[in-house]
Amino acid sequence: MLLIIMDGVGIGRQDDTNAVYLADTPNLDRLFASKLYTTLTAHGTAVGLPTDGDMGNSEVGHNALGAGRVFDQGARLVNRALESGGIFETGEWAAIVRRAKAGGSLHFIGLLSDGNVHSHIKHLYRLIDACAAAALPRVRVHALLDGRDVGERSAPDYIDPLENRLKNISGQKGLDYAIASGGGRMKVTMDRYEADWLIVKRGWDAHVLGKARPFPSAAEAVRAFYDEDPAITDQYMDPFVVVDDNAHPLGPVVDGDAVVFFNFRGDRAIEISRAFTEKAFDAFDRGPLPDVYFAGMMEYDGDTHLPPHFLVQPPAIDRTVSQYLCAEGVRSFAVSETQKFGHVTYFWNGNRSGHIDETLETYVEIPSDRIEFDKAPRMKARLISEKAVQLLKSGAYRFGRLNLANGDMVGHTGNMAAAVTAMETVDRCAGDLIEAVAELDGIAVVTADHGNLDEMVTIGKDGTRSVKTAHTLNPVPFAISDQGYRGEYAMAHVKSPGLSNVAATLLNLLGYDKVADYDPSLIQFNGSRHTTS
């Protein structure tokens, strides 16, 4: 059996805002017209987020797919810790306060938006307000601009209120709060899966060394970038530093300081955390490592316990479907390109690094291109498909999973033409994979982790249209292609089916009962030989 995860492919309106609808997708059209098809909720409370207005993302989506049930996720956990005040009663927060009161600066680094995928600006506000209430004398913010999970040129909506808030606090006696540096998330600090350490180095140079293009304020930096390049989007802005009247950087990280990385999602937080905490570090030249107390909003890697200090406990995801398959001696593989490799391994396995059983599992990473994804929208889908077919035909594996990243990565660029090409590439590759599985008398399961390509344009109440780069709230497809299907099972009547129902379904299709506390299977067998409970 092969699980095909089409990253960022949802089911949206059938109109010209939807790249999935506009694309020529004969293979998926046939599959979605079959009896073994349904749609799944992939956002909000169905994947452990605070409200049903919260868009899903690849991290929580793969957690739910692999875990078989829903766990409270980053945003919800942080909300709870802030609302209860528990976040400020930890030893980590006490250590941060001691540093700040002993003469050090407290630095907050993270994604500045309300996208609620990696971070939320309200979390930053609560942290800053707590600093002011405790009369911590000097706070600096290093603002990573989004333009991906929110509007592509929405940086002023976050920079301007933050600068005003910091200015008002600085009016209080003895307090000095300001933005010190920043840059776009796809060029500064927030690399993942070691795809491009230069991104992290740019952030290090700006945040720690104070080396980047200087501006009197973050707002002026954003305006300058907009004026110089009308086509630029926030996520691709170069790094900048804010300087004082003497052209000195306003807030580089130095000995004695404390640093909080306020993103709650782990994948794009791990590399910068390593740069701050690892003594034996060779990804780039950091210069002298400053003596700082570094804490993440959460623990970003539960196996390596990175970073060593963090403010909110992450969800404890246990007994994933791969743990059960390994316990049964089932050999499996996982394949994707770099951008989503961690999702079919680390996140699928419940935020666990490495193999569950390396004697039974094969993980294959295909290096991603290091260019903007709309420049090469086919990405590595063909190579991923070819490798999966090779592994399937080897006869060594009963189960495989792969992620085709095109829908998400190209969807985030906002380029409709590239998005259509990306979707057509996914369709062709899915078709080839389904055919290869059929030749082996196997079963292919096709789904997605969240939407993106399905809503590339936002239409305002007045009819105005704007490019949409964020994920969507739309459902995602789920379909089974079973060459040997003779009606022995059918889609079950599951109340509010979501991504967490997939794990039990996979177990059933492989011939196993569902785990007792997993969410119900999406299929119901007609005979007594199999059960879904």
pTM, two decimal places:
0.77
Interatomic CA distance for residues 441 and 438, integer angstroms: 5
Task: Please provide the CATH number assigned to the domain covering 75-312.
Answer: 3.40.1450.10
Q: Which of 34, 58, 273, 481 is catalytic?
A: 58
In the sheet that 176-184 helps form, which strands lie side by side, from edge to edge?
Answer: 213-215, 240-242, 176-184, 138-145, 106-112, 258-261, 293-298, 310-312
Give catalytic status of residue 521 as yes or no.
Answer: no
For residue 243, list its beta bridge partners.
Answer: 249
The CA distances from residue 46 to 42, 85, 300, 500, in Å, are: 6, 26, 22, 8
Strands 465-467 and 457-459 turn out to be antiparallel
pLDDT of residue 302: 65
Is 147 strand, coil or helix?
A: coil
Mind listing the pLDDT tens digit of every residue in the chain (533 residues)? 999 999 999 999 999 999 999 999 999 999 999 999 999 999 999 999 888 888 888 989 999 999 999 998 888 899 999 999 999 999 999 999 999 999 999 999 999 999 998 999 999 999 999 999 999 999 999 999 999 999 999 999 999 999 999 999 998 888 999 999 999 999 999 998 788 999 999 999 999 999 999 999 999 999 999 999 999 999 999 999 999 999 999 999 999 999 999 999 888 999 999 999 999 999 999 999 999 999 999 988 765 789 999 999 877 899 999 999 999 999 999 999 999 999 999 999 998 889 999 999 999 999 999 899 999 999 999 999 999 999 999 999 999 999 999 999 999 999 999 999 999 999 999 999 999 999 999 999 999 999 999 999 988 888 889 899 889 999 999 999 999 999 999 999 999 999 999 999 999 999 999 999 999 999 999 864 444 43
For residue 526, count other CB atoms closer than 10 A to its CB: 10
* Domains of the chain by residue range: 2-71+316-525, 75-312
Cα torsion angle, 34, 411, 77, 267, sign: positive
Between helix 74-84 and helix 121-133 the angle, nearest 10°, is: 20
DSSP 353-384: -S-S-TTTEEEEEEPPPSS-GGGSTTTTHHHH
DSSP 426-487: HHHHHHHHHHHHHHTT-EEEEE-SSBSTT--EEE-TTS-EEE--S-BS--EEEEEEETT--S
Is 312 strand, coil or helix?
A: strand
Cβ(348)–Cβ(422) below 8 Å: no
The CA distances from residue 301 to 44, 228, 274, 284, 479, in Å, are: 23, 39, 11, 21, 32
Task: Please provide the CATH number assigned to the domain covering 2-71+316-525.
Answer: 3.40.720.10
pLDDT of residue 303: 58
Interatomic CA distance for residues 529 and 513, integer angstroms: 10
Cα torsion angle, 42, 48, 54, 55, sign: negative
